[in-house]
Copies of this chain bind each other. A is one copy, B any other.
Amino acid sequence: MTTTPSVAPLTDQDHVHLARAVRLAAQNVLDKGGPFGAVVVTADGQAFDGVNRVTANNDPTAHAEVTAIRNACSQLGTFDLSGATLYSSCEPCPMCLASALWARIAVVRFAADRHDAAAAGFDDAVFYDYFDTPAELRSMPVLHTEPEGISRKAPFEQWSSFAQRIEY
């Protein structure tokens, strides 16, 4: 159990970045993408855009938030965005929230909410329900299976014996 850190009051810069995410989302429709945009802003103020490219790139993980995180990390040469803020045109789905956690995003701000999205035909309810449902009742079964011919711990044993590993 952790507690939510206090969040700095809204600034003019927050509004600039959030409005940009919403404008990117609207523009992306004309670019044959989904109606979603995002901006990652690092602690020192560098901004990186992302838009939804699921259908355009045949990548079900290419939500705007994930794309913005990938762009920021790629261009900054890091996998750690500690202290960054993620602005999104719409409430992030669990995939995007978990991606933001892995990237160590500090705060997420979004404009439209999940109900606005559902009214437009983008209903993420199944995703929220999935994580709210006990594991044994979930729609996509996730099953432990003991591998044959190799120990399930073999990769971790390889890892612990590999001197040049990069911890993360």
Q: Interface of A with B (CB < 8 Å)?
A: 1-5, 7, 10, 14-15, 18-19, 22-23, 25-26, 28-30, 32, 34-37, 54-55, 57-61, 66, 69-70, 73-74, 76-81, 89-95, 97-113, 116-117, 119-122, 126-127, 129-131, 133, 136-156, 158-160, 162, 164-168
Contacts and interface: CB of A to CB of B under 8 A. Distances in A.
Contact of A159 (B109, B120, B156): B120
A73 B93 contact: no
Nearest to A10: B145
Question: How many copies of this protein are present in the complex?
Answer: 2
A168 B79 contact: no
Given A32-B166, A95-B101, A98-B127, 7 more contacts: A7-B141, A7-B143, A19-B149, A26-B154, A59-B73, A112-B153, A131-B131
A34 B160 CA distance: 11
Contacts of A159: 29, 34-35, 120
A122 B129 CA distance: 26
Contact of A19 (B3, B18, B90, B148): B148
A119 to B, nearest CB: 7
Contact of A61 (B7, B28, B66): B66
